[in-house]
Structures are given as structure tokens and as C-alpha cells.
Amino acid sequence: MLNNKFKLILPSLFGLLFVAAMMFALTSQEEQVTPSALVGKPIPAFTASSLSATERVGNNERIDNNELVGNNGLLGNSALLDNSIFQTDKNYTLLNVWASWCAVCQSEHGFLMKLAGKDGMRIVGLNYRDDRADANHVLSALGNPYVATIFDPDGKIALDMGVVATPETYLLDNQGIVLFRYSGALDETVWQHYFKPFMQLLTNK
């Protein structure tokens, strides 16, 4: 009798599992591609210290504690950063929100290194709700893809941006206007599917 009842409800269970899986897949996709309210606008104004006193900038430049960054000078051993970090002669900048405690962030780190190195992409980091020493340890161990890293220990800058979770990556133009946001880890597939076509479309306009 129990076996017969189980056979009767089995199709319903499979149906519920299928619907749940589809809803999860759709939700995950929406989280990745849902436009940010910042699209078409600059990153909200901020002033913050850089993560470390010395950071790599592109392939040749370097931000260090003897150099003015943004319009605000220095704070202790760290440069002060502001929105002017996004104004550049490069066509685009990526703003990558990350943290040392974020396992998904570490999974995308190798790809960010490739983008910054071989592909020459300009990437600014936003270190979110993190410990400065822990974050610097990650960059020392895995390499530093960022031209500069904004240190946001209380998450205020991220909150003003509407960051939902780490990692998130924003594509900005050379005036710091947000063009596109992606939530989730970057990899070659994501880059080719979302970012490259978007940049090509804008370049061809």
C-alpha cells in the first residue's frame, strides 16, 4: 500500500523539483544580468584610503605613498582615492567588488590577472567589509590585478552603489560613467558572452 502511494506522488515530487530547479536557474541568471540603478550615472562620490601604500597601476604606472591620487593627497601611509580614479585615457575601467573572505572572489582572481596582464584591461578594486591585512595577504599570495584598490571596511561605498553581494563587477567608461554591471564570478565565458559584445557595440557606435 505504501509503495502504491509513493508511486502516485512520485511524479508530483519530480515536477516540484523541476520547477524549483528552473526557478533557481532563472533567479541566478537575473542576479547576474539585472541592470544596476547606476547605469548611465557615475559611481556615487566618495573619498577613501587605498588598500595599501603601494599598488600597481597598469603595466607601467604605480600608485605609492609619495604620489597624489585623486584630488585629496595622502592619509597616513595610504593614498586617498576619489572618483577621479575612474577618469582615464583608456576606453574602459572595470570596478571589481571583492573581499578576502569571499571564496567566489578568489575563484575569479586568476581571470582578473589575465585581463590586467595579457589583455591590458584597467581594473580598480573595491575591497568590501574586509580586514586590511587579510586583503593585502590575498594580493601578495595570488597577485594584484588592480591599478588601485579602494578600501571600504564598513561597506559604505558599496552600500551607496547598491552592491548586493561579492563579487560584483562594473564596466565604466573613461569618465567614470557606469555602463554595465555583472554579479558573480568573471571567467572567459562570462567575459566573451557579456562584456566583449557590449564593449564592441559601444565602440562601433
**Residue 14 lies in domain:** 1-33
pLDDT at 98 over 50: yes
Same domain (yes/no): 1, 63 = no
Q: What is the pLDDT of residue 68?
A: 35
Q: What is the pLDDT of residue 4?
A: 56
Contact 69, 148 (CB under 8 A): yes
Same domain (yes/no): 21, 57 = no
Rounded to a whole number of angstroms, the CA Rg of the chain reads 20
Same domain (yes/no): 65, 152 = yes
Contact 81, 55 (CB under 8 A): no
Q: What share of the chain is helix, strand, coil (3-state, %, to 5)?
A: 40, 30, 30
pLDDT at 127 over 80: yes
Confirm whether 38 is domain-assigned.
no
Full-model pTM: 0.75
Same domain (yes/no): 87, 152 = yes
pLDDT-based confidence at residue 36 (cuts at 50, 70, 90): confident
Same domain (yes/no): 91, 150 = yes
- Mean pLDDT, rounded, for 158-164: 94
Give me the phi and psi of 78, to 5 degrees please: -120, 145
Same domain (yes/no): 20, 82 = no
Same domain (yes/no): 110, 177 = yes
Confirm whether 41 is domain-assigned.
no
Confirm whether 42 is domain-assigned.
no
Confirm whether 77 is domain-assigned.
yes
pLDDT at 44 over 60: yes
Report the number of distinct structural domains present in the chain. 2
The string of pLDDT tens digits covering residues 181-202 is 999 999 999 999 999 988 887 7
Same domain (yes/no): 28, 87 = no
CA distance 38 to 1: 59
User: What is the DSSP-derived secondary structure letter of residue 173?
Assistant: E
User: What CATH number does the domain containing 173 carry?
Assistant: 3.40.30.10
Regarding predicted confidence, which is higher, 77 or 107? 107
Same domain (yes/no): 80, 160 = yes
Contact 32, 44 (CB under 8 A): no
- Mean pLDDT, rounded, for 45-63: 66
